[in-house]
Amino acid sequence: MEHIWAPWRIEYIEMEKPAGCILCDKPGESRDAENYILYRGSENFVILNSYPYNPGHLLVAPYRHVASLDALTDSELSEHSVIVRRSVGLLREVFSPQGFNVGLNLGKAAGAGIDEHLHTHIVPRWQGDTNFMTVVSGVRVVPQALAETYRKLAGRF
């Protein structure tokens, strides 16, 4: 079996998780810039991943606390898909990635860090974005601060 190391995620894994659900709580706080919420639709929103794999790593989530695709209404699912498409287009325009990973981790066994609130990951990718630091020392370098990523994307949806 081959292992893929992601030691930069250990901060998230080991941290004490706050009570409640951040995907429910953050949109209710009315502090979008501080919480890195980039867009609010009528039934879904876009937020930067606080522990990104790459700059521009976005999450699209419904406001409603649901864990599965079949729990979404047709309206929620439709808007969710449209926002994912818009997000990919915006990231392509702003960051010029060469590819994307787009997907859902449904359930803990599938790798979901927040398994009780469905969300879609959108991760921009560049050729060679796993650089020598990852290979040589097991360290991932994310070359852009969240605040700078937010500044580049805010108001563009």
Is 15 within the bounds of a domain?
yes
Is 127 within the bounds of a domain?
yes
Is 1 within the bounds of a domain?
no
Whole-number Cα distances in Å, 156 to 44, 53, 77, 139, 144: 16, 22, 22, 32, 18
> Which one of 57, 80, 119, 121 is the catalytic residue?
119
pTM: 0.81
Range of the domain at 51: 7-153
**CATH code of the domain covering residue 41:** 3.30.428.10
Active site residue 119: yes
The count of structural domains within the chain is 1
Q: Give residue-wise pLDDT tens across range 13-69.
A: 677 766 789 999 999 998 999 999 999 999 999 999 988 888 999 999 999 999 999
Q: Give residue-wise pLDDT tens across range 58-104.
A: 999 999 999 999 999 999 999 999 999 999 999 999 999 999 999 99
